[in-house]
Amino acid sequence: MLFQTYYRLDPWGFTPPLEPFASIRFDLAQERFSLFMTYQHRISEDEGSQILIQTLHRCDAVSEDAQRLFAGEMEIDWLTQKGKQDGLNPFPRSCREFILGLHARMDQLATGVFNVLRWRLGILGGPLTLSSEWPSMRWHDPSKGEQIMDEHGYLNRQMLAGVFTLDLPEMQRVSFDETCRHSVENLLQFQSREPLHHDLFREAWQNKEANWRSLLVMAVAAAETGFKTTAIDLSPAVAWLLEKLPSPSLPLMVREYLEQLPARRTFDGQVRRPPKMLITTLQKGVELRNKLVHGRVEDVDSDELSDILVAIRDLLYLLDFYRGHEWALARITPDVLAKIKEPPPCERD
């Protein structure tokens, strides 16, 4: 059976603002999941445009009671729902467990897909977790005909009418660049979520306007986590040393150790460290973080903080490249990437 739910987001709560795309699908062992993003028209003059994310999830492991419920073969006293908070009380326990479990699963899948997509496209800000209400789910039994959504069935009856009842063509393909589509699908197939260091960095970025102290601490932690994670991934033998012993400072590891890693992607066969200006900015970030946590600084220049954030983000995507993600180079600041690609002095004419 097919199940659908949706999420509404403010496109301007992200950096850069969210743009619509067609659906992207991936296959799991016994289920399929598709995510579709589009602009939702304004409901009133007072409301701005929103991004509407719809999902389509195929689940064949439907309980017998739930199948009877969806087929209209189970008599339900809808009046008993009145005054109930969750609205599920009239249904057998097996139906309640299936519905709530499926709803949680769909939120989990949507969050994972959305965040992997944001990692790939370099989108910051916005919610870390997508969350919907179970009454917003709709369902369809493909064996009953071509109509994508059934006219009957309690999930459909709970669904609000109007702009929220958009049909989602089953398993469309994505419409953006074919190379981008292929890399996103590979990420979804082989990596269930974005790396922790990017997750931490996005959390830091969300504090950009409200709490620069939290932003700085989390951003530097993201950089340190990213470097150690990359080093362990590429050279598992160093795992014990990095996990059990005090590590050298981040700038020192970037300056002295990065080029020794057995990277999966290289620049003409070489692993190159970031340019000196980036490492210097990382050094400032680490020193400022240390002063902050020891109570020796109370304010920071906003331009300096922005430079630190950009340097950390460039480092994280450079590390992604060395881990095998060639697309990550497109996310690095062009000037920084040009410096990295320059051949060493000894190789220049």
Q: Is the pLDDT of residue 260 over 90?
A: yes
The pLDDT of residue 336 is 94
The pLDDT of residue 212 is 82
Minimum mean pLDDT range among 183-187, 204-208, 218-222: 183-187
Q: Average the pLDDT over 313-322 and give the result.
A: 96
Q: Is the pLDDT of residue 253 over 80?
A: yes
pLDDT per position as a tens digit, 3-57 = 888 888 888 888 888 877 666 666 666 667 777 776 655 544 555 677 778 787 8
Mean pLDDT over all residues of the chain? Answer: 78
In this prediction the pTM is 0.79
Higher pLDDT: 155 or 34? It is: 34
Q: Tell me whether strands 50-59 and 21-27 are parallel, antiparallel or unpaired.
A: unpaired
Q: For residue 128, what are the contacts with CB-CB under 8 A and spacing of at least 6?
A: 111, 115, 199, 202, 203, 206
d(C-alpha 212, C-alpha 209), whole Å? 7
Contacts 24+ apart (CB under 8 A), 270-278: 270/344, 271/322, 272/340, 274/311, 274/314, 274/315, 274/318, 274/336, 274/339, 274/340, 275/336, 275/339, 275/340, 277/339, 278/311, 278/314, 278/315, 278/336
Q: Is the pLDDT of residue 140 over 80?
A: no
For residue 112, the surrounding DSSP H or E stretch is: helix 93-121
Q: Can you tell me which residue has the tokens 């419409």?
A: 175
d(C-alpha 293, C-alpha 290), whole Å? 5
In the chain, the amino acid numbered 337 is: L
Percent of the chain scored above 90 by pLDDT? 28
Q: Is the pLDDT of residue 170 over 50?
A: no
Domain ranges, ordered by start, for the chain: 2-177, 195-347
Residue 23 burial class via C-beta count within 10 angstroms: exposed 0-12, middle 13-18, buried 19 and up: buried
Sequence-ordered strand ranges (E) for the chain: 2-9, 14-15, 21-27, 31-40, 50-59, 124-125, 138-140
